[in-house]
Chain A
Amino acid sequence: MNGFDARLLDAFDNALWSVAIAVALLVGAAHALRPGHGKTLVAAYLVAEKGRWMHAAALAVIVAGLHTVSVLAIGLIWWAVAGDRAGSIEPVAVWGRLAVALMVLGVGAVVLRRQWRAFRHRRAHRLGHVHGPDVHGHGHDDHGHEHDGNGHHHGPADGVAPWSWAGLFGIASAGALIPSPAAFLLLVSGLLTGRAALAVVMVACFGVGLAATVLAVGLMVIAGRDWLGRRVKGHGPLARFGSWAPLVGAAAIVCGGFVLSATALAALVAS
Protein backbone atom coordinates (compact mmCIF):
# COMPACT_ATOMS: atom_id res chain seq x y z
CA MET A 1 0.00 0.00 0.00
CA ASN A 2 1.26 3.42 -0.92
CA GLY A 3 1.96 5.78 1.96
CA PHE A 4 -0.49 8.43 0.86
CA ASP A 5 -3.28 5.91 0.26
CA ALA A 6 -2.85 4.74 3.83
CA ARG A 7 -4.08 8.17 4.98
CA LEU A 8 -7.49 7.01 3.78
CA LEU A 9 -7.54 4.38 6.52
CA ASP A 10 -6.08 6.81 9.06
CA ALA A 11 -8.90 9.24 8.35
CA PHE A 12 -11.48 6.46 8.60
CA ASP A 13 -10.12 5.39 11.99
CA ASN A 14 -9.55 8.77 13.57
CA ALA A 15 -11.06 11.74 11.77
CA LEU A 16 -14.47 13.38 11.88
CA TRP A 17 -16.98 12.58 9.15
CA SER A 18 -16.39 15.79 7.25
CA VAL A 19 -12.61 15.53 7.44
CA ALA A 20 -12.68 11.87 6.44
CA ILE A 21 -14.74 12.66 3.35
CA ALA A 22 -12.44 15.50 2.34
CA VAL A 23 -9.44 13.21 2.79
CA ALA A 24 -11.14 10.55 0.63
CA LEU A 25 -11.67 13.08 -2.19
CA LEU A 26 -8.06 14.25 -1.99
CA VAL A 27 -6.53 10.79 -1.77
CA GLY A 28 -8.70 9.68 -4.73
CA ALA A 29 -7.52 12.59 -6.86
CA ALA A 30 -3.90 12.01 -5.88
CA HIS A 31 -4.23 8.27 -6.43
CA ALA A 32 -5.22 8.81 -10.07
CA LEU A 33 -2.11 10.94 -10.60
CA ARG A 34 0.10 7.92 -10.08
CA PRO A 35 1.14 5.97 -13.17
CA GLY A 36 -1.11 3.31 -14.59
CA HIS A 37 -4.55 4.71 -14.01
CA GLY A 38 -5.63 5.08 -17.60
CA LYS A 39 -4.85 8.78 -18.00
CA THR A 40 -2.80 8.16 -21.15
CA LEU A 41 -5.57 6.00 -22.57
CA VAL A 42 -8.16 8.69 -21.78
CA ALA A 43 -6.00 11.25 -23.59
CA ALA A 44 -5.43 8.95 -26.56
CA TYR A 45 -9.13 8.15 -26.75
CA LEU A 46 -10.17 11.80 -26.72
CA VAL A 47 -7.67 12.62 -29.47
CA ALA A 48 -8.61 9.58 -31.54
CA GLU A 49 -12.35 10.14 -31.24
CA LYS A 50 -12.11 13.94 -31.57
CA GLY A 51 -13.80 14.02 -28.20
CA ARG A 52 -15.46 17.10 -26.75
CA TRP A 53 -15.97 18.14 -23.15
CA MET A 54 -18.96 15.88 -22.70
CA HIS A 55 -16.87 12.88 -23.67
CA ALA A 56 -14.42 13.81 -20.93
CA ALA A 57 -17.30 14.36 -18.50
CA ALA A 58 -18.89 11.02 -19.40
CA LEU A 59 -15.54 9.26 -18.92
CA ALA A 60 -15.23 10.90 -15.49
CA VAL A 61 -18.75 9.85 -14.45
CA ILE A 62 -18.05 6.29 -15.58
CA VAL A 63 -14.70 6.21 -13.74
CA ALA A 64 -16.33 7.40 -10.50
CA GLY A 65 -19.25 4.99 -10.77
CA LEU A 66 -17.23 2.01 -11.96
CA HIS A 67 -14.63 2.32 -9.20
CA THR A 68 -17.30 2.58 -6.51
CA VAL A 69 -19.27 -0.32 -7.93
CA SER A 70 -16.20 -2.50 -8.26
CA VAL A 71 -15.01 -1.81 -4.67
CA LEU A 72 -18.50 -2.55 -3.30
CA ALA A 73 -18.92 -5.66 -5.44
CA ILE A 74 -15.48 -7.10 -4.65
CA GLY A 75 -15.94 -6.15 -0.98
CA LEU A 76 -19.24 -8.01 -0.86
CA ILE A 77 -17.75 -11.03 -2.64
CA TRP A 78 -14.91 -11.07 -0.11
CA TRP A 79 -17.36 -10.70 2.75
CA ALA A 80 -19.36 -13.63 1.42
CA VAL A 81 -16.42 -15.98 0.91
CA ALA A 82 -13.93 -14.83 3.57
CA GLY A 83 -15.20 -17.17 6.27
CA ASP A 84 -14.32 -19.99 3.93
CA ARG A 85 -10.61 -20.78 3.85
CA ALA A 86 -10.52 -21.08 0.07
CA GLY A 87 -12.04 -17.65 -0.42
CA SER A 88 -9.72 -15.18 -2.11
CA ILE A 89 -10.12 -12.17 -4.34
CA GLU A 90 -6.75 -12.81 -5.97
CA PRO A 91 -8.28 -14.46 -9.07
CA VAL A 92 -10.76 -11.59 -9.40
CA ALA A 93 -7.85 -9.15 -9.54
CA VAL A 94 -5.77 -11.22 -11.97
CA TRP A 95 -8.58 -12.08 -14.39
CA GLY A 96 -10.03 -8.59 -14.06
CA ARG A 97 -6.80 -7.14 -15.35
CA LEU A 98 -6.88 -9.44 -18.35
CA ALA A 99 -10.51 -8.47 -19.04
CA VAL A 100 -9.57 -4.77 -18.88
CA ALA A 101 -6.64 -5.34 -21.24
CA LEU A 102 -8.77 -7.16 -23.79
CA MET A 103 -11.47 -4.47 -23.58
CA VAL A 104 -8.91 -1.74 -24.23
CA LEU A 105 -7.48 -3.76 -27.10
CA GLY A 106 -10.95 -4.22 -28.58
CA VAL A 107 -11.82 -0.53 -28.28
CA GLY A 108 -8.45 0.36 -29.80
CA ALA A 109 -9.00 -1.95 -32.75
CA VAL A 110 -12.47 -0.56 -33.48
CA VAL A 111 -11.35 3.06 -33.17
CA LEU A 112 -8.22 2.46 -35.25
CA ARG A 113 -10.25 0.82 -38.00
CA ARG A 114 -12.71 3.72 -38.10
CA GLN A 115 -10.03 6.39 -38.03
CA TRP A 116 -7.99 4.60 -40.69
CA ARG A 117 -11.03 4.54 -42.98
CA ALA A 118 -11.80 8.17 -42.27
CA PHE A 119 -8.18 9.06 -42.90
CA ARG A 120 -8.05 7.26 -46.23
CA HIS A 121 -11.33 8.84 -47.13
CA ARG A 122 -10.08 12.34 -46.41
CA ARG A 123 -6.93 11.69 -48.37
CA ALA A 124 -8.90 10.39 -51.34
CA HIS A 125 -10.90 13.60 -51.20
CA ARG A 126 -7.84 15.75 -51.07
CA LEU A 127 -6.01 13.95 -53.88
CA GLY A 128 -8.84 13.81 -56.34
CA HIS A 129 -11.69 15.97 -55.31
CA VAL A 130 -13.60 15.59 -58.54
CA HIS A 131 -14.00 11.90 -58.94
CA GLY A 132 -16.69 9.38 -59.43
CA PRO A 133 -17.99 7.33 -56.53
CA ASP A 134 -16.20 4.28 -57.92
CA VAL A 135 -12.80 5.66 -56.88
CA HIS A 136 -13.62 5.09 -53.22
CA GLY A 137 -14.13 1.42 -53.77
CA HIS A 138 -16.31 0.97 -50.73
CA GLY A 139 -19.59 0.68 -52.49
CA HIS A 140 -21.42 3.92 -51.90
CA ASP A 141 -23.65 3.31 -54.86
CA ASP A 142 -25.22 0.37 -53.12
CA HIS A 143 -26.47 2.59 -50.34
CA GLY A 144 -28.09 4.92 -52.78
CA HIS A 145 -26.28 8.03 -51.56
CA GLU A 146 -26.75 11.12 -53.62
CA HIS A 147 -23.32 12.14 -54.86
CA ASP A 148 -23.16 15.43 -56.62
CA GLY A 149 -19.51 15.51 -57.47
CA ASN A 150 -18.09 17.08 -54.34
CA GLY A 151 -20.91 17.19 -51.82
CA HIS A 152 -20.16 14.04 -49.88
CA HIS A 153 -21.99 13.35 -46.64
CA HIS A 154 -20.66 9.98 -45.67
CA GLY A 155 -18.02 9.05 -43.14
CA PRO A 156 -17.74 10.52 -39.65
CA ALA A 157 -18.38 14.23 -39.69
CA ASP A 158 -15.68 16.51 -38.38
CA GLY A 159 -16.28 17.57 -34.80
CA VAL A 160 -18.56 15.45 -32.68
CA ALA A 161 -17.70 11.81 -32.98
CA PRO A 162 -20.45 9.32 -32.30
CA TRP A 163 -20.71 8.49 -28.63
CA SER A 164 -19.99 4.84 -28.06
CA TRP A 165 -20.90 3.28 -24.72
CA ALA A 166 -18.59 0.34 -25.28
CA GLY A 167 -15.72 2.69 -26.05
CA LEU A 168 -16.28 4.89 -23.02
CA PHE A 169 -16.66 1.93 -20.65
CA GLY A 170 -13.68 0.14 -22.16
CA ILE A 171 -11.40 3.13 -21.68
CA ALA A 172 -12.74 4.04 -18.22
CA SER A 173 -12.35 0.44 -17.05
CA ALA A 174 -8.58 0.75 -17.49
CA GLY A 175 -8.49 3.16 -14.58
CA ALA A 176 -11.41 2.05 -12.47
CA LEU A 177 -12.33 -1.61 -12.82
CA ILE A 178 -9.60 -2.96 -10.57
CA PRO A 179 -10.14 -1.10 -7.30
CA SER A 180 -7.50 0.56 -5.21
CA PRO A 181 -6.33 -1.78 -2.44
CA ALA A 182 -6.73 1.03 0.10
CA ALA A 183 -10.36 1.62 -0.87
CA PHE A 184 -11.05 -2.12 -0.67
CA LEU A 185 -9.45 -2.38 2.77
CA LEU A 186 -11.45 0.66 3.85
CA LEU A 187 -14.72 -1.06 2.92
CA VAL A 188 -13.69 -4.28 4.66
CA SER A 189 -12.81 -2.25 7.77
CA GLY A 190 -16.18 -0.55 7.63
CA LEU A 191 -18.03 -3.86 7.32
CA LEU A 192 -16.13 -5.36 10.25
CA THR A 193 -16.31 -2.42 12.65
CA GLY A 194 -19.96 -1.60 12.09
CA ARG A 195 -19.19 1.73 10.43
CA ALA A 196 -20.10 0.63 6.94
CA ALA A 197 -21.99 3.84 6.10
CA LEU A 198 -18.93 6.05 6.52
CA ALA A 199 -16.79 3.54 4.63
CA VAL A 200 -19.21 3.42 1.68
CA VAL A 201 -19.44 7.22 1.52
CA MET A 202 -15.65 7.49 1.65
CA VAL A 203 -15.26 4.87 -1.10
CA ALA A 204 -17.69 6.84 -3.28
CA CYS A 205 -15.79 10.08 -2.59
CA PHE A 206 -12.52 8.34 -3.45
CA GLY A 207 -14.09 7.46 -6.82
CA VAL A 208 -15.20 11.07 -7.30
CA GLY A 209 -11.62 12.18 -6.59
CA LEU A 210 -10.31 9.74 -9.21
CA ALA A 211 -12.85 11.09 -11.67
CA ALA A 212 -11.84 14.70 -10.97
CA THR A 213 -8.29 13.93 -12.05
CA VAL A 214 -9.49 12.08 -15.15
CA LEU A 215 -11.77 15.01 -16.01
CA ALA A 216 -8.92 17.50 -15.55
CA VAL A 217 -6.64 15.44 -17.80
CA GLY A 218 -9.39 15.11 -20.41
CA LEU A 219 -10.22 18.83 -20.46
CA MET A 220 -6.53 19.72 -20.70
CA VAL A 221 -6.07 17.37 -23.64
CA ILE A 222 -9.11 18.82 -25.41
CA ALA A 223 -8.04 22.40 -24.75
CA GLY A 224 -4.49 21.67 -25.92
CA ARG A 225 -5.70 19.94 -29.07
CA ASP A 226 -8.09 22.75 -29.98
CA TRP A 227 -5.42 25.37 -29.35
CA LEU A 228 -2.98 23.49 -31.55
CA GLY A 229 -5.66 23.04 -34.18
CA ARG A 230 -6.30 26.79 -34.35
CA ARG A 231 -2.58 27.52 -34.51
CA VAL A 232 -1.77 25.20 -37.38
CA LYS A 233 -4.72 26.20 -39.53
CA GLY A 234 -3.31 27.40 -42.81
CA HIS A 235 0.12 25.91 -42.22
CA GLY A 236 -0.03 23.22 -44.88
CA PRO A 237 2.43 20.61 -43.55
CA LEU A 238 1.45 21.13 -39.91
CA ALA A 239 -2.24 20.90 -40.68
CA ARG A 240 -1.59 17.69 -42.57
CA PHE A 241 0.26 16.42 -39.56
CA GLY A 242 -2.78 17.34 -37.46
CA SER A 243 -4.96 15.14 -39.60
CA TRP A 244 -2.80 12.24 -38.48
CA ALA A 245 -3.54 12.90 -34.81
CA PRO A 246 -6.70 10.74 -34.51
CA LEU A 247 -4.84 7.89 -36.19
CA VAL A 248 -1.93 8.25 -33.80
CA GLY A 249 -4.32 8.37 -30.83
CA ALA A 250 -6.07 5.20 -32.01
CA ALA A 251 -2.71 3.46 -32.51
CA ALA A 252 -1.73 4.50 -28.96
CA ILE A 253 -4.87 2.83 -27.56
CA VAL A 254 -4.01 -0.37 -29.42
CA CYS A 255 -0.41 -0.23 -28.11
CA GLY A 256 -1.72 0.38 -24.59
CA GLY A 257 -4.03 -2.59 -24.99
CA PHE A 258 -1.13 -4.82 -26.06
CA VAL A 259 1.03 -3.69 -23.14
CA LEU A 260 -1.81 -4.25 -20.64
CA SER A 261 -2.51 -7.68 -22.15
CA ALA A 262 1.14 -8.68 -21.95
CA THR A 263 1.44 -7.69 -18.27
CA ALA A 264 -1.92 -9.28 -17.41
CA LEU A 265 -0.89 -12.53 -19.10
CA ALA A 266 2.47 -12.44 -17.33
CA ALA A 267 0.68 -12.04 -13.97
CA LEU A 268 -1.67 -14.89 -14.88
CA VAL A 269 1.21 -17.20 -15.76
CA ALA A 270 3.08 -16.21 -12.60
CA SER A 271 0.12 -16.81 -10.29
Chain B
Amino acid sequence: MRLNAVVVSGIAAALALAAAAAPAAAHPLGDPQTVRLSAEGREVTALWTAAADDLLVLGSLTGAIKGQREYVFDLGAGGDPEPLGDTDADLLMASAAVADYLAANITVTQDGRDCPAEVDLSGLIGYGAELVFTCDRAVSGVDVAVTVLTDVDPAYRTVAFAEAADREQYLYAVDTPSAAWRFDARAERGSNWAVPVSVGAVLMLVVVAGVLGLRRLRSAARS
Protein backbone atom coordinates (compact mmCIF):
# COMPACT_ATOMS: atom_id res chain seq x y z
CA MET B 1 0.00 0.00 0.00
CA ARG B 2 2.71 2.40 1.04
CA LEU B 3 4.91 1.29 -1.84
CA ASN B 4 2.01 2.05 -4.16
CA ALA B 5 1.78 5.55 -2.81
CA VAL B 6 5.49 6.06 -3.37
CA VAL B 7 5.25 4.78 -6.93
CA VAL B 8 2.22 6.93 -7.70
CA SER B 9 3.79 10.07 -6.24
CA GLY B 10 6.98 9.30 -8.15
CA ILE B 11 5.08 9.06 -11.42
CA ALA B 12 3.18 12.26 -10.61
CA ALA B 13 6.43 14.09 -9.88
CA ALA B 14 7.97 12.81 -13.12
CA LEU B 15 4.93 13.94 -15.13
CA ALA B 16 4.95 17.34 -13.47
CA LEU B 17 8.66 17.73 -14.21
CA ALA B 18 8.14 16.75 -17.83
CA ALA B 19 5.32 19.28 -18.14
CA ALA B 20 7.42 22.03 -16.61
CA ALA B 21 10.62 21.31 -18.51
CA ALA B 22 9.27 22.48 -21.86
CA PRO B 23 8.12 25.96 -20.80
CA ALA B 24 11.27 26.46 -18.77
CA ALA B 25 13.42 25.66 -21.76
CA ALA B 26 11.30 27.79 -24.08
CA HIS B 27 12.13 30.96 -22.22
CA PRO B 28 15.85 31.45 -21.81
CA LEU B 29 16.99 34.93 -20.90
CA GLY B 30 20.59 35.39 -21.82
CA ASP B 31 23.00 38.09 -22.83
CA PRO B 32 22.72 39.46 -26.35
CA GLN B 33 25.47 38.59 -28.78
CA THR B 34 28.42 40.87 -28.28
CA VAL B 35 31.54 41.57 -30.28
CA ARG B 36 34.47 43.39 -28.66
CA LEU B 37 36.80 45.16 -31.04
CA SER B 38 40.36 46.31 -30.55
CA ALA B 39 43.19 47.21 -32.91
CA GLU B 40 46.93 47.08 -32.69
CA GLY B 41 49.38 47.61 -35.54
CA ARG B 42 47.98 45.87 -38.63
CA GLU B 43 45.66 43.63 -36.62
CA VAL B 44 42.04 44.02 -35.58
CA THR B 45 40.81 41.59 -32.93
CA ALA B 46 37.14 40.73 -32.56
CA LEU B 47 35.95 38.69 -29.59
CA TRP B 48 32.48 37.28 -30.26
CA THR B 49 30.24 35.93 -27.47
CA ALA B 50 26.71 34.60 -27.44
CA ALA B 51 24.34 33.02 -24.95
CA ALA B 52 24.15 29.22 -24.81
CA ASP B 53 20.89 28.95 -26.75
CA ASP B 54 22.29 31.11 -29.56
CA LEU B 55 25.37 28.87 -29.67
CA LEU B 56 23.05 25.89 -30.15
CA VAL B 57 21.33 27.73 -33.01
CA LEU B 58 24.75 28.33 -34.52
CA GLY B 59 25.59 24.66 -34.04
CA SER B 60 22.52 23.40 -35.84
CA LEU B 61 22.81 26.05 -38.57
CA THR B 62 26.36 25.03 -39.44
CA GLY B 63 25.70 21.32 -38.90
CA ALA B 64 28.24 21.13 -36.10
CA ILE B 65 25.63 19.71 -33.73
CA LYS B 66 23.43 16.93 -35.01
CA GLY B 67 19.82 16.69 -33.89
CA GLN B 68 20.22 13.42 -32.02
CA ARG B 69 22.42 12.27 -29.23
CA GLU B 70 23.13 8.73 -28.08
CA TYR B 71 23.13 7.81 -24.42
CA VAL B 72 24.44 4.76 -22.63
CA PHE B 73 22.32 3.51 -19.73
CA ASP B 74 24.41 1.59 -17.26
CA LEU B 75 22.08 -0.62 -15.25
CA GLY B 76 24.62 -1.31 -12.54
CA ALA B 77 24.83 0.35 -9.15
CA GLY B 78 24.80 4.13 -9.41
CA GLY B 79 24.50 4.00 -13.18
CA ASP B 80 23.61 7.34 -14.72
CA PRO B 81 22.84 7.82 -18.39
CA GLU B 82 26.00 9.02 -20.07
CA PRO B 83 26.10 10.77 -23.41
CA LEU B 84 28.21 9.01 -26.01
CA GLY B 85 30.93 10.91 -27.76
CA ASP B 86 31.74 14.61 -27.59
CA THR B 87 29.66 17.20 -25.78
CA ASP B 88 27.95 20.02 -27.69
CA ALA B 89 30.69 22.38 -26.50
CA ASP B 90 33.42 20.08 -27.86
CA LEU B 91 31.59 19.71 -31.17
CA LEU B 92 31.21 23.47 -31.56
CA MET B 93 34.79 24.29 -30.68
CA ALA B 94 36.20 21.62 -33.00
CA SER B 95 33.99 22.57 -35.95
CA ALA B 96 35.61 24.07 -39.02
CA ALA B 97 32.12 24.97 -40.26
CA VAL B 98 31.54 27.19 -37.21
CA ALA B 99 34.90 28.89 -37.75
CA ASP B 100 34.11 29.45 -41.45
CA TYR B 101 30.66 30.78 -40.62
CA LEU B 102 32.05 33.29 -38.12
CA ALA B 103 34.78 34.39 -40.53
CA ALA B 104 32.15 34.91 -43.24
CA ASN B 105 29.82 36.88 -40.98
CA ILE B 106 32.26 39.01 -39.07
CA THR B 107 34.42 40.83 -41.58
CA VAL B 108 36.89 43.70 -41.52
CA THR B 109 37.75 45.73 -44.61
CA GLN B 110 40.40 48.39 -44.99
CA ASP B 111 39.95 50.78 -47.93
CA GLY B 112 37.60 48.26 -49.53
CA ARG B 113 40.01 45.33 -49.20
CA ASP B 114 39.17 42.40 -46.98
CA CYS B 115 41.46 41.71 -44.06
CA PRO B 116 41.74 37.90 -43.81
CA ALA B 117 40.70 36.39 -40.51
CA GLU B 118 42.13 33.70 -38.29
CA VAL B 119 39.55 32.14 -36.03
CA ASP B 120 40.28 30.66 -32.61
CA LEU B 121 37.28 28.83 -31.18
CA SER B 122 38.93 27.60 -27.98
CA GLY B 123 37.18 30.27 -25.93
CA LEU B 124 33.82 29.97 -27.66
CA ILE B 125 31.99 28.71 -24.57
CA GLY B 126 33.78 31.03 -22.17
CA TYR B 127 35.21 34.43 -23.02
CA GLY B 128 34.33 34.21 -26.70
CA ALA B 129 35.54 33.18 -30.14
CA GLU B 130 38.55 35.21 -31.15
CA LEU B 131 38.93 36.45 -34.71
CA VAL B 132 42.20 38.16 -35.62
CA PHE B 133 42.10 40.14 -38.87
CA THR B 134 45.39 41.10 -40.47
CA CYS B 135 45.18 44.11 -42.75
CA ASP B 136 47.69 45.40 -45.32
CA ARG B 137 48.56 48.56 -43.45
CA ALA B 138 48.48 49.78 -39.88
CA VAL B 139 44.88 50.09 -38.78
CA SER B 140 43.37 53.48 -38.21
CA GLY B 141 39.99 53.42 -39.93
CA VAL B 142 38.28 50.14 -40.92
CA ASP B 143 34.80 48.95 -41.81
CA VAL B 144 33.54 46.14 -39.60
CA ALA B 145 30.49 44.14 -40.68
CA VAL B 146 28.66 41.71 -38.37
CA THR B 147 25.77 39.57 -39.65
CA VAL B 148 26.00 36.55 -37.33
CA LEU B 149 22.70 34.61 -37.17
CA THR B 150 20.65 37.30 -38.94
CA ASP B 151 20.20 34.74 -41.70
CA VAL B 152 18.34 32.54 -39.18
CA ASP B 153 16.10 35.34 -37.93
CA PRO B 154 16.38 39.02 -38.86
CA ALA B 155 15.64 39.91 -35.23
CA TYR B 156 19.11 38.76 -34.12
CA ARG B 157 21.45 41.61 -33.30
CA THR B 158 24.95 42.02 -31.97
CA VAL B 159 26.18 44.71 -29.62
CA ALA B 160 29.69 45.90 -30.47
CA PHE B 161 32.07 47.44 -27.96
CA ALA B 162 35.43 48.90 -28.79
CA GLU B 163 38.48 49.93 -26.85
CA ALA B 164 40.18 53.15 -27.88
CA ALA B 165 37.92 53.89 -30.82
CA ASP B 166 35.85 56.84 -31.95
CA ARG B 167 32.75 55.32 -30.38
CA GLU B 168 32.24 52.94 -27.53
CA GLN B 169 29.24 50.97 -28.76
CA TYR B 170 27.31 50.13 -31.87
CA LEU B 171 24.30 47.93 -32.54
CA TYR B 172 24.63 45.59 -35.51
CA ALA B 173 21.21 44.60 -36.80
CA VAL B 174 19.91 43.29 -40.10
CA ASP B 175 19.43 46.85 -41.42
CA THR B 176 22.75 48.11 -40.03
CA PRO B 177 25.17 45.29 -40.83
CA SER B 178 28.28 47.40 -41.28
CA ALA B 179 29.93 50.37 -39.57
CA ALA B 180 33.12 52.36 -39.88
CA TRP B 181 35.36 52.46 -36.83
CA ARG B 182 38.35 54.74 -36.23
CA PHE B 183 40.91 53.38 -33.81
CA ASP B 184 43.07 56.50 -33.81
CA ALA B 185 40.50 58.68 -32.08
CA ARG B 186 38.94 58.20 -28.69
CA ALA B 187 35.28 58.64 -27.92
CA GLU B 188 34.31 61.19 -25.35
CA ARG B 189 33.43 59.27 -22.25
CA GLY B 190 30.63 59.89 -19.84
CA SER B 191 28.38 61.74 -22.26
CA ASN B 192 25.74 59.01 -22.59
CA TRP B 193 24.38 58.95 -19.06
CA ALA B 194 21.26 60.95 -19.87
CA VAL B 195 19.52 57.92 -21.37
CA PRO B 196 20.05 55.46 -18.51
CA VAL B 197 19.09 58.14 -16.01
CA SER B 198 15.82 58.80 -17.81
CA VAL B 199 15.15 55.05 -18.05
CA GLY B 200 15.72 54.90 -14.30
CA ALA B 201 13.25 57.76 -13.86
CA VAL B 202 10.65 55.88 -15.90
CA LEU B 203 11.31 52.83 -13.75
CA MET B 204 10.54 54.79 -10.59
CA LEU B 205 7.43 56.22 -12.25
CA VAL B 206 6.12 52.73 -13.06
CA VAL B 207 6.71 51.60 -9.48
CA VAL B 208 4.92 54.64 -8.01
CA ALA B 209 2.03 54.40 -10.47
CA GLY B 210 1.69 50.67 -9.79
CA VAL B 211 1.59 51.14 -6.03
CA LEU B 212 -0.98 53.96 -6.30
CA GLY B 213 -3.13 51.94 -8.72
CA LEU B 214 -3.10 48.91 -6.43
CA ARG B 215 -4.05 51.03 -3.41
CA ARG B 216 -7.03 52.42 -5.27
CA LEU B 217 -8.04 48.95 -6.33
CA ARG B 218 -7.78 47.75 -2.76
CA SER B 219 -9.84 50.53 -1.31
CA ALA B 220 -12.41 49.95 -4.06
CA ALA B 221 -12.47 46.29 -3.09
CA ARG B 222 -13.06 47.12 0.55
CA SER B 223 -15.98 49.44 0.03
Contacts from A to B (Cβ < 8 Å): 1-3, 5-10, 13-14, 34-37, 52, 54, 57-58, 61-62, 64-65, 68-69, 72-76, 78-80, 82-83, 85, 88-90, 93, 97, 160, 163, 178-182, 184-185, 187-189, 191-194, 196-197, 200, 204, 255, 258-260, 262-263, 267
Contact = CB atoms under 8 A, between A and B. Distances in A.
Contact of B16 (A3, A34, A52, A255): A255
A73 B203 contact: yes
A248 B200 CA distance: 42
B217 A54 contact: yes
Given A6-B155, A35-B23, A197-B198, 11 more contacts: A9-B157, A13-B175, A36-B23, A54-B218, A69-B203, A69-B206, A90-B30, A181-B28, A181-B29, A191-B195, A262-B17
B31 A89 contact: yes
A52 B221 contact: yes
B213 interface: yes
Contacts of A35: 22-23, 26
B213 to A, nearest CB: 5
A72 B30 contact: no
Contacts of B220: 54
A256 B23 CA distance: 13
Contact of A263 (B17, B34, B161): B17
B153 interface: yes
B214 A9 contact: no
B63 interface: no
B31 A196 contact: no
B5 interface: no
A188 B220 CA distance: 38
A72 B203 contact: yes
A163 B175 CA distance: 49
A78 B203 CA distance: 15
A80 B195 CA distance: 12
Interface in B187-223: 195-196, 198-200, 202-203, 206-207, 209-210, 213-214, 217-218, 220-221
B206 A204 contact: yes
A62 B20 contact: no
B221 A72 contact: no
